[in-house]
């Protein structure tokens, strides 16, 4: 079992208490699934028959969905992507969407029943897209949160450099560093996020929990991702399930042109914009995103 699991789950219950949400003591638990070539870890919300699968963005982990799930989305399984959170690492740092989709398909396919909707944000959205295209039996509905294959380097601005510093002398140094990139986040939410996204090393320093390795040629995982990005338009055309593209109103990631191309590429795609939020819609407007997921669940 991963380290600090008891503290991890206790933190979820403290978060619920802060929001005034009643949460059954057994409602959330850590689970481990076989992803074939990698162990896939996740958080089960509400039992062993999840209606929703949730896939986070790059550098994040399953806890990014906590606030949204505390609004009452229903039985869900929030997974740590390979190389992230408490999931295993690949032998080589190849975390491109199609490879992760293959591992996730094995993990999701081991569940007792097929989930109703797969939700993916940013990198997790690209993995969800690849998953739904290659395994239509595993995704009856799809929600892509502020991402399309049209994304290009530079659109994320300063956030793209957040993880470039890899090691911090102590937690306070990590907190100060992150605060520069996320100045509007509350102290409580920022500290909670960092406790999940970073790991304390034996010497007392902190490092990001996600796999930081570069490719053998020295290129970063992000650089390799963008090499493959545009080719994922072919997956959009293959989608067989109702799909909602959620666009963050204050984010530069999805352009008008990207949005229009998504709609032209597949008649099953609809698009909705959620105003007053940045790229992390699940953090900025959790209730609005939960409503879109519920809408697709009801179709």
Closest CA to 103 of 78, 132, 76, 81: 81
Q: Is the dihedral of CA 111, 115, 120, 123 positive or negative?
A: positive
Going from the C-alpha of 256 to that of each of 41, 127, 148, 261, the distances in angstroms are 35, 22, 11, 9
Is 146 labeled as catalytic in the residue annotation?
yes
With contact defined as beta carbons under 8 Å apart, do 189 and 175 qualify? Answer: no
CA atoms of 68 and 66, how far apart (whole Å): 5
Among 146, 251, 258, 283, the one annotated catalytic:
146
Is 44 labeled as catalytic in the residue annotation?
no
Is 135 labeled as catalytic in the residue annotation?
no
Q: Give helix 123-134 / helix 97-109 axis angle, nearest 10°.
A: 60
Burial class of 109 by CB neighbour count within 10 A (0 to 12, 13 to 18, 19+): middle
Among 15, 279, 283, 284, the one annotated catalytic:
279
Among 122, 193, 251, 265, the one annotated catalytic:
122
CA atoms of 71 and 154, how far apart (whole Å): 33
Catalytic residue positions? 122, 146, 279
């Amino acid at each position: 079992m991963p380290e600090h699991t008891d503290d991890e789950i206790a933190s979820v219950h403290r978060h619920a208490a802060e929001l005034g949400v009643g949460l059954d003591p057994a409602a959330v638990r850590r689970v481990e699934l076989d992803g074939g070539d990698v162990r896939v870890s996740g958080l089960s919300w509400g039992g062993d028959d999840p209606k929703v699968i949730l896939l986070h963005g790059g550098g994040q982990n399953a806890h990014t969905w906590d606030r949204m799930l505390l609004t009452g989305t229903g039985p869900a399984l929030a997974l740590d992507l390979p190389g992230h959170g408490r999931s295993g690492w690949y032998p080589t740092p190849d975390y491109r969407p199609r490879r992760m989709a293959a591992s996730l398909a094995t993990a999701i396919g081991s569940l007792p029943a097929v989930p109703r909707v797969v939700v993916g944000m940013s990198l997790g959205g690209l993995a969800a897209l690849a998953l739904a295209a290659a395994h239509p039996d595993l995704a009856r509905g799809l929600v892509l949160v502020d991402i399309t294959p049209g994304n290009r380097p530079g659109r994320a601005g300063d956030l793209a450099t957040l993880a470039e510093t890899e090691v911090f002398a102590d937690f306070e140094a990590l907190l100060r560093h992150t605060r520069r990139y996320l100045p509007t986040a509350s102290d409580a939410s920022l500290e909670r996020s960092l406790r999940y996204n970073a790991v304390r090393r034996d010497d007392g320093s902190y490092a990001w929990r996600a796999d930081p390795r570069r490719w053998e040629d020295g290129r970063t995982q992000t650089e390799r991702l963008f090499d493959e990005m545009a080719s994922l338009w072919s997956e959009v055309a293959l989608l067989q399930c109702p799909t909602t593209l959620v666009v963050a109103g204050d984010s530069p990631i999805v352009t008008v042109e990207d949005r229009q191309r998504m709609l032209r590429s597949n008649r099953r795609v609809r698009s909705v914009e959620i105003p007053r939020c940045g790229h992390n819609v699940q953090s900025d407007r959790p209730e609005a995103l939960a409503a879109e997921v519920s809408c697709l669940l009801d179709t």
